[in-house]
Structures are given as C-alpha cells and as structure tokens.
Structure 1
Amino acid sequence: MEFLEAHPEGVNAIISEFWETALHLAVTFEHLHIVKELVNKMQEGDLERKNEFGETALVTAACTGIIEMAKCMIEKNRNLPMILINFDTLPVTQALLSNQKEMARYLYLVTPLEELVPEKGYHGANFLRQCFLSDAIGEL
C-alpha cells in the first residue's frame, strides 16, 4: 500500500504473466482488506480490466465465494455483473460453475434480469442449465 501511495498509477499495472493487476491477485489470495483498499483507489472503469482469460477481478471473487469482495467491487461499478468472460459466461454462472451457491445467489440479485432474456443471447439459458446441474434451482 505504501508503494501505491507513492505510485498511484501502479493500481492498474499488470503485474503477472496472465495480465493480472494487483486487484486480481489480492482477490485470488483472498486478502479482503487489500481488495477494499485497492477498490477505493481505483476508478469505476478500472474494475472492468480483464486478465489473459477474459476475467475481471469480480469473476475471480465469484470463484472464491467471498461475497464481501464482490460487494465492494459492485458498489463501485454496477456494470461488473454484466461483463462476460471470454467464453460468454456471466459472473453469476461462473459462481455456480465453481460451486459457490451463496455467491451465485448474491450475483443473481445484482444481475439485471434483462441480461438473462433470450434477446441478449444464450446467457440466461446457460445460467438456468447451470442452476439445474449444480442443484441450485430452488436456492436462488
């Protein structure tokens, strides 16, 4: 954090071979306090930065199941739940793929239903399919 105080541009620097930022890595290693500090220092659009696999830090948080990390990011940028992964998957579906049902419940509540309609593509069908496969259909 001292480094970022002296070099604020570093908050968006790519620091791994997978095009990850400090936020991606803080989420991966489940350092909630660092995630909160980084999000506070970032601009809204900075949170949309994707790694080599087309994943925002929110997608990584969806896989960890730590809802508080997802909340602090979404409070800063309400568009994050609608940003697709390279494989045309919504973060809510990725949470189910990672067996994170509580996270999926939270992400479902903050994902506009318009993102799940057939006119938007097959994202809603993928989500519903994953609900059945993960036995989460009655839980969301």
Structure 2
Amino acid sequence: MEKKQCCTAAALHVIRISCGRPNHSHIKGVSKAKDAWDILYETYNNNAPASAPASPPELTEVEELEMSNMLKAIAENNWLAAKAFIDRYPQVLDVDFAKSMGETPLHVAAKFGHLGIVEELVRLAPEEYLEIRDAYWGNTPLAMAASHSELIPVAACLISKNKKPLEIPTDNNAWEIPANSAFYSGRKKMGRYLYSVTPWEVFRPDNGSTVGPLFLQICLKLGELGSITTFR
C-alpha cells in the first residue's frame, strides 16, 4: 500500500509539471493522479481537443522511486538522500522549472520544519526561488513555515535570504501575508516574530490594502493586541 501511494504521488507530481502552472487551478486540491488526469482531459477535450495530450505522462519504475524517495527523505529530515536526488535532477532548483511544480523541495522542508534542510536549500537556491508559490494554496515557503509550525529559526533562515516573501500573500486571500497567516493558524509566537520583521507600510490602512485591518481583527480575536504593540 505504501509503495502504491508513493507511486501515485510521484505520478501526480509529474502531471503537475507537464500541465504547466497556468493549468494548476484545474487540479488544485486533487490528491489522486487519475482524478487529476480526468479533470485535465475533460477540460481540454471540451475546450481545445487539439491541445490535449494523447495519454497521461508515464514514469519509469526508477523515476517513480526517485521522486517518492525524495519526498520521503525531506519528510524524514534525511538531507543526504534528498541531496542525492537534487544532484541527479538539478532542475528542481531552477526557478523557471520549479514554478511548474506542485511545490518545491523548499516548500516541503519548510512545511515539516526541518531547519537543516531549509538551510541547505537556501544556500543552493537563488533568491527568487523563495518567492515561488505552490500550486495548491499559493503559499511561498515562508508562508508554509508561518502556518505549519512555531519554528522561528526556519522562518528567520528564509528571511535572511529574501525578505520579499514577508509581503507576498497567498493566491486565495490578498490579506493573507505570512504574519497574518501565522496568527490565523494559531501560531502566536511565529505571528509576533513575523510582524516584528514585516515592513510597517504593509499594515498601513491608507495603502488601500486589507492586510492591516484583517491583522488587527485576528489579533483582537486572539487577545494579541497588547503583545504586538511591544514590537513597534
């Protein structure tokens, strides 16, 4: 069963790569490769038959094993195994290629809170790599770290490489920058830290954004208004 699930995940990953980022909205939230393929087939068969591929992309057994092992290695905090995959497939650290992926290795490392792997990937990847949004919710790696853990060193490492993601919202909500996402997810310590390092201008109500008002609303609900005033 575990091997079958890994193969399915790998096949789904390749489908996302093959269809390109503009088409990710069609299969957002889909967890099965067959379901993703059926959705894409129906979409293109109804609207543009000529542009639909003749058959779903197929993986060799070796490629299936490589892909699933990389995901497993990152989840289990095994940098040596993950690095071996990256050495064989260095394109995963290329910004243009990575934009077509469901989520980058850095997304996964940040989500699981593996600081060592995050540090290694930050060292290897260009700054723009940290601005890539995943295909599911439109999260940057920093947004992943903000909503999944209280591991401030992970967020600090990402910010030390590129501060721009502090101001990048998710695809779904223009107000949901990492600081807001952290508080909204109940990660108070992470929220306080991200608020302290996010440019003040982002929260100003006179810039026409809903970031500031929603931030205050969330903090009021969590009883955090008193805490955040100490950072400004």
TM-score by length of 1: 0.90
Q: Secondary structure of the residue that 1:80 maps to in structure 2?
A: helix
Q: Which moved more, 1:4-13 or 1:86-95?
A: 4-13
Change in Cα spacing, 1:120 to 1:107, as seen in structure 2 (3 Å) is: farther
Per-residue CA deviation, residues 35-79 of structure 1 (Å, 9 max, x unaligned), is 111111111111000012111010110011211111011010011
Say if 2:89 is the partner of 1:4: no
Larger-gyration structure (1/2): 2
Partner in structure 2 of residue 82 of structure 1: 167
User: 1:39 and 1:8 mapped to 2: Cα distance?
Assistant: 14
Deviation at 1:99, TM superposition (A): 1.0
Q: TM-score, normalised by structure 2?
A: 0.56
Unaligned runs of 5+ in 2: 1-82
How much has 1:106 moved relative to structure 2?
0.9
Runs of 4+ in structure 1 off by over 4 angstroms are none
Count of residues paired in the alignment:
138
The answer to whether the Cα contact below 8 Å between 1:114 and 1:120 also exists between their aligned partners in 2 is no
The aligned runs of 1:1-140 (5 Å cut-off) are 1-12=83-94, 19-52=102-135, 53-63=137-147, 64-86=149-171, 87-88=173-174, 89-118=176-205, 119-140=207-228
* Per-residue deviation, 1:4: 2.0
Cα distance, 1:32 vs. partner? 1.4
- Rounded to whole Å, the distance in 2 between the matches of 1:41 and 1:95 is 26
Tell me the C-alpha RMSD between the 2 structures.
1.8
Higher RCO (C-alpha under 8 Å, 6+ residues apart): 1
- Return the alpha-carbon distance in structure 1 between the equivalents of residues 166 and 113 of structure 2: 19
Bigger helix share: 2
What is residue 17 of structure 2 aligned with on the other side?
Answer: none
How far 1:5 sits from its partner (Å)?
A: 3.3
Identity of aligned residues (%): 36
Question: CA 1:120/1:79 → structure 2, altered by over 3 Å: closer, same or farther?
Answer: farther
Where 2:226 maps in the other structure, the secondary structure is: coil
Structure 1 gaps, min length 5: none
